[in-house]
Amino acid sequence: MSCTVSMTVNGKTVSREVEERTLLVTFLREHLGLTGTHVGCDTSQCGACVVHVDGRSVKSCTTLALQADGAEVTTIEGLAAADGTLHPMQAAFREHHGLQCGFCTPGMVMSAVDLVRDNPNPTEAEIREGLEGNICRCTGYHNIVKAVKSGAEAMAGAQAAPVAAE
């Protein structure tokens, strides 16, 4: 059976006819062409598929598109500013070499942003615990942890920055 799914993805309202069993990751990649969300395991183990649904991290390889009907979905493509300026967490991953092959990076970044929203000043142990659902097969996680710590500091600084008067 098919159904119509509507949601806001990266600030744009989208609506598509899909099979009821269509996974959110499939909807994003195949129906919307947003290939930054990766499929690594299809079992919710690796975290390469993490996106935000209504501001919370979810593993899109085990979430039905129908479950996100009416929701606000943000993918790695929607994290940067409209002018292309990287989100502070994306910039921190680049600056601290928090990636190697890059396959896990979108999910890591999305999980890290959610972690920092809940805990703006995480310790190294809290970062490692917060990223337990994300697997990187290339690194020893040291630079990822450094990147998340730096990204958290940058996100806190961005929130504290004064707004220019008009």
Cα–Cα distance measured from residue 42 to residue 60, given in angstroms and rounded to the nearest whole number: 9
Range in 77-81, 137-141, 142-146, 151-155 the model is least confident about: 137-141
Per the listing, tokens 């500091």 go with 153
Paired sense of beta strands 72-74 and 50-53, if any: antiparallel
pTM beyond cutoff 0.85 = yes
pLDDT at 166: 45
pLDDT at 13 over 90: yes
- pLDDT tens per residue across span 33-88: 999 999 998 888 999 999 999 999 999 999 999 999 999 999 999 999 999 999 99
**CATH of 2-77 among 1.25.40.10, 3.10.580.10, 3.10.20.30, 3.40.50.2300:** 3.10.20.30
- pLDDT tens per residue across span 14-40: 999 999 999 999 999 999 999 999 999
CATH architecture of 88-160: Orthogonal Bundle (1.10)
Contact 13, 31 (CB under 8 A): no
Domain ranges of the chain: 2-77, 88-160
pLDDT at 161 over 80: no
